[in-house]
Amino acid sequence: MPERQLITGNEAAAEGAIAGGCRYFFGYPITPQNRIPEYMSEHLPPIGGVYIQAESEVAAINMVYGAAATGAWAMTTSSSPGISLMQEGLSYMIGAELPCVLVNMARGGPGLGNIAPAQSDYWLATRGAGHGDGRCLTFAPFSVQEIYDLVGQAFPIAQKYRNPVMILADAVLASMREPCALRDRLDPPEEKPSWAVGGDQKGRQRNIVNSLWTDPPVMEEVNLRIQQRYREAAQNETRWTEHGADDPEILVCAYGISARICQTAIEHAAEAGVACRLIRPISLFPFPTEVIADWAQRVDKVLVVELSMGQFIEDVRLAVAGACPVELFGRTGGMLVTPEEVAERIIEIA
């Protein structure tokens, strides 16, 4: 096993991307993720990669769009308000069937908000990606090691489904330091994808990268192809973890930093005599609907813990489908919940 290093979540995202084959980074500064572009600016040029600090988030996502069209493994990173600005570019990339990876180190909002941790970009991450009938494939790590691993894995996933992949984390995960095992850096594949544009490709039919299809039947065909890829992603990329009791009274659902907090909270609750099981979706889209539906049949209640006031709970409710009551424990605006508070709430509803 490689020696583990104590690094921040931001550094793990940056190094995870490079290790996964990313060689093109375009971004615009915003707290709490500035260590990612800083790291990229230091580490990409020496290995032949490209780092550009764009003039805005809008420019950054469109540089990613351009690079991705040529088959480059490109990424951008930002935090909540910056991700809002990138929505148009993401929609165009989905329409043009282009892969990229973006990381959102979410902060308190709405508006300019603050730089404290939040999960209030759940809808933005799982429903968003601008207008139209597309979404980002979205994954939510809950430790520094998992940020490193998931960001690296996101590049081949984005290529496979020709769709943007978002890694959704928050201000705590961005700035926290934990031991992280680093792998050797992989090179991106030398061969370009068959759909990539090249500028000078004598002898082969020209490729067109475009999201403008004025003929509705053609546009519908593009959409159906995208939806087919989402179904395949649901088959292959749905991920979650489970912790706690095998015969629970309460099912706790949480993702990202909230799930870390709930890991300890369900131990406190168990000490007070309330058996809980924690389901932590790692993939938010595709969502692990079936496992939550299964457990909902076997518990008295579901408690959803999120750093927002009822976004993630909607996907849980769709999965539970009325099988039992679903309650919310949320904080918002950059406030954290503590394991003690979650345990208290579990005991209250049990």
Positions in the binding site for another protein (CB under 8 A) = 4, 6, 115-116, 143, 172, 175-179, 257, 260-265, 267, 336-341
d(Cα 62, Cα 221) in Å, to the nearest integer? 25
- The residue among 114 and 207 lying less far from another protein, judged by its C-beta, is 114
Q: Which ranges constitute the DSSP H helices of the chain?
A: 9-20, 35-43, 57-69, 80-85, 87-95, 122-126, 144-161, 171-175, 216-237, 256-271, 289-296, 312-320, 339-349
CB of 246 to another protein, least distance (A): 18
CB of 268 to another protein, least distance (A): 10
CB of 229 to another protein, least distance (A): 35
- The residue among 180 and 292 lying less far from another protein, judged by its C-beta, is 180
Closest by CA position to 29, among listed 69, 67, 81, 73? 81
- The residue among 106 and 172 lying less far from another protein, judged by its C-beta, is 172
- The residue among 162 and 280 lying less far from another protein, judged by its C-beta, is 280
d(Cα 37, Cα 323) in Å, to the nearest integer? 45
* Burial grade of 208 (CB within 10 A; 0-12, 13-18, 19 or more): exposed
The structure tokens listed for 106 are 């979410």
CB of 296 to another protein, least distance (A): 25
Classify residue 77 by its DSSP letter: E
d(Cα 347, Cα 261) in Å, to the nearest integer? 16
- The residue among 91 and 263 lying less far from another protein, judged by its C-beta, is 263
CB of 69 to another protein, least distance (A): 38
